[in-house]
Amino acid sequence: MSELGCVPDAISYNTVLKRLCEDSRSQGALDLLRTVAKEGGVGSLDVVSHSTVIHGFFKEGETGKACNLFHEMTQQGIVPNVVTYNLIIDALCKARAMDKSELILRQMVDNGVRPDTVTCSSIMSSLCKHGRSKEAAEIFDSMTAKGLKADVFSYSVS
């Protein structure tokens, strides 16, 4: 693109990152993300860029790489959004790492990011699968008391 006089912006990079991840090439996406950051380009990209690669790693079963990138982005001062937190929490719940998912949930709330229906449903589902249905019901009650609208999935696990 630069040969044509075009300077890629964050949207251009995010499009390429997403495509790489869709093609199961998340490591290549991470390499691109790091190259852009190293060169100081496009504000070293953003939470969307990082979340895209994190999601790609989870889809490829690379939980460790996804979690490492999550920690790396927070250390760089990139604040995760609800989508990023939901990716991490859901993956940890599926990996039966409830203690870690609850820790990330606390971090999410401490950072001022409000859990949504997806967050609560991931945790409730995992709690039910681990025989902790009373705790899942408490989360459901808390969720509805805070004004979050339950979806069909939320009702099915509560």
pTM to 2 decimal places: 0.82
Check residues 19 and 9 and name the one with the higher pLDDT.
19
Residue 128 is predicted with a pLDDT of 87
Residue 94 is predicted with a pLDDT of 87
Residue 10 is predicted with a pLDDT of 82
Longest dimension (CA), the chain: 61
Residue 98 is predicted with a pLDDT of 85
What pLDDT, in 10s, does the model give residues 118-143? Answer: 888 888 888 888 888 888 888 778 77
What pLDDT, in 10s, does the model give residues 57-101? Answer: 999 999 999 999 999 999 988 999 999 999 999 999 888 888 898
Rounded to whole angstroms, what are the CA distances from 13 to 9, 46, 69, 137, 152? 6, 10, 17, 42, 35
CA proximity to 142, closest of 96, 105, 91: 105
Check residues 16 and 38 and name the one with the higher pLDDT.
16
Asked whether the predicted pLDDT for residue 152 surpasses 80, the reply is: no
What average pLDDT score do residues 26-47 get? 84
